[in-house]
Amino acid sequence: MKQHQFLQVLERDEAERKWRSVVSAAPVGIEEVPLEAALGRVLARDQRAVGNVPGFDRANMDGFAIRAADTYGASEEKPKQLRLNDETLATGVAPRLVVQPGTATPIATGGILPRGADAVAPVEHTDLDADGRTLLLRHARAPGAAVSFAGADIGQGETVLFAGARLSSRETGVLAAIGAARVPVFRRPLVAVLSTGDEIVQPGEALQPGFVFDSNGRILCDAVAELGATPRFLGVVRDDEQALRAAIAHALESADLLLLSGGTSKGEGDLGARVVSELEPGVVVHGVALKPGKPICLAASGAKPVVVLPGFPTSAIFTFHEFVAPLLRNMLGLPPENRETRPARLALAQQSERGRLEYLLVGLTRPATGSGELKAWPMGKGSGSVTAFSRADGFIRIPRNTELLDADAAVEVTLMGSELPLADLLIIGSHCVGLDRIAAALSEQGLRIKLLAVGSESGLEAAGRGECDVAPVHLLDPASGRYNTPFLKPGLRLVAGYTRMQGVVTRKDETRALKELLDDDALHMVNRNRGSGTRALIDEVLGERRPPGFAYEPRSHYAVAAAVAQRRADWGVAIETVVEQHGLRFLPLREERYDFIIPEARFEREPVRRLRALLAPGSPLRAELRALGFGDPDG
Distance CA 633, CA 476 (A): 15
Distance CA 563, CA 55 (A): 73
Closest by CA to 106, choosing from 135, 80, 129, 81, is 135
Cα–Cα distances (Å) from 258 to 2, 189, 278, 308, 465, in that order, read: 28, 11, 15, 8, 48
Closest by CA to 12, choosing from 248, 239, 388, 294, is 294
- Give the mean pLDDT of 360-377: 77
Phi, psi of 251 (to 5 degrees): -65, -40
Amino acid letter, residue 123: V
- Give the mean pLDDT of 393-401: 87
* pLDDT score of 527: 95
Q: Is the pTM of this model over 0.85?
A: no
* pLDDT score of 381: 52
- Give the mean pLDDT of 519-531: 92
* pLDDT score of 3: 37
* pLDDT score of 94: 95
Query: Can you tell me whether residue 513 is helix, strand or coil?
Result: coil
What's the chain's average pLDDT?
Answer: 89
The CATH number of 30-53+153-186 is: 3.90.105.10
* pLDDT score of 382: 53
3-state secondary structure 216-239: HHHHHHHHHHHHCCEEEEEEEECC
* pLDDT score of 365: 81
Q: Is 517's pLDDT higher than 50?
A: yes
Task: List the single range of 185-199, 274-288, 421-435 with lowest mean pLDDT.
Answer: 421-435
Residue 516 or 375, more confident: 516
Cα angle for residues 35, 39, 44 (degrees, 5° grid)? 75
Domain 425-635 has what CATH class? Answer: alpha beta
- Give the mean pLDDT of 522-548: 91
Percentage of the chain lying above the pLDDT 90 cut: 66
Percentage of the chain lying above the pLDDT 70 cut: 95
The model's pLDDT over 440-480, given as tens digits with 9 standing for 90+, comes to 999 999 998 988 888 899 999 999 988 899 999 999 898 89
Q: Is 106's pLDDT higher than 60?
A: yes
- Helix ranges (H only) for 283-401 are 313-319, 325-332, 387-391
* pLDDT score of 386: 64
Closest by CA to 136, choosing from 66, 70, 73, 82, is 82
Distance CA 520, CA 143 (A): 98
Query: Can you tell me whether residue 251 is helix, strand or coil?
Result: helix
The model's pLDDT over 196-210, given as tens digits with 9 standing for 90+, comes to 888 888 888 887 877
Query: Can you tell me whether residue 173 is helix, strand or coil?
Result: helix
Distance CA 249, CA 439 (A): 48
- E strand intervals along 454-579: 471-473, 476-477, 482-483, 492-506, 525-526, 571-575
The model's pLDDT over 580-602, given as tens digits with 9 standing for 90+, comes to 999 999 999 999 999 999 999 99
Q: Is 4's pLDDT higher than 50?
A: no
Which residues, 6 or more positions from 316, have their beta carbon under 8 angstroms from its beta carbon?
A: 216, 219, 220, 261, 309, 310
- Give the mean pLDDT of 9-30: 93
Amino acid letter, residue 285: V
- Give the mean pLDDT of 101-125: 95
* pLDDT score of 400: 83
* pLDDT score of 73: 93
Cα–Cα distances (Å) from 406 to 348, 352, 403, 411, in that order, read: 7, 11, 10, 11
* pLDDT score of 81: 93
The model's pLDDT over 174-187, given as tens digits with 9 standing for 90+, comes to 999 999 999 999 99
Amino acid letter, residue 150: A
pLDDT interval class at 269 (50, 70, 90): very low
Is domain 58-148 annotated with CATH 2.170.190.11?
A: yes
The CATH number of 12-27+188-332 is: 3.40.980.10
Q: Is 266's pLDDT higher than 50?
A: no
Residue 25 or 340, more confident: 25
- Give the mean pLDDT of 228-252: 93
pLDDT interval class at 268 (50, 70, 90): very low
The model's pLDDT over 21-67, given as tens digits with 9 standing for 90+, comes to 999 999 999 999 999 999 999 999 999 988 888 889 999 999 999 99
Which residues, 6 or more positions from 620, have their beta carbon under 8 angstroms from its beta carbon?
A: none
3-state secondary structure 34-75: EHHHCCCCEECCCEECCCCECCCCEECCCEEEECHHHHCCCC
- E strand intervals along 175-333: 182-186, 190-196, 200-201, 212-213, 230-237, 257-261, 281-286, 290-291, 297-301, 304-309
* pLDDT score of 323: 94
pLDDT interval class at 630 (50, 70, 90): very high
Contact 67, 117 (CB under 8 A): yes
Q: Is 492's pLDDT higher than 50?
A: yes
Domain range annotation of the chain = 12-27+188-332, 30-53+153-186, 58-148, 341-415, 425-635
* CATH fold of 341-415: Beta-clip (2.40.340)
The model's pLDDT over 275-329, given as tens digits with 9 standing for 90+, comes to 999 999 999 999 898 888 888 999 999 999 999 998 888 888 889 999 999 999 9
Contact 445, 388 (CB under 8 A): no
Instruction: Evaluate the omega torsion of the peptide bond into residue 101 and state whether it is cis, within 30 degrees of 0.
Output: no
* pLDDT score of 355: 80
Residue 251 or 199, more confident: 251
Distance CA 78, CA 138 (A): 7
Task: List the single range of 370-374, 434-438, 513-517, 571-575 with lowest mean pLDDT.
Answer: 370-374
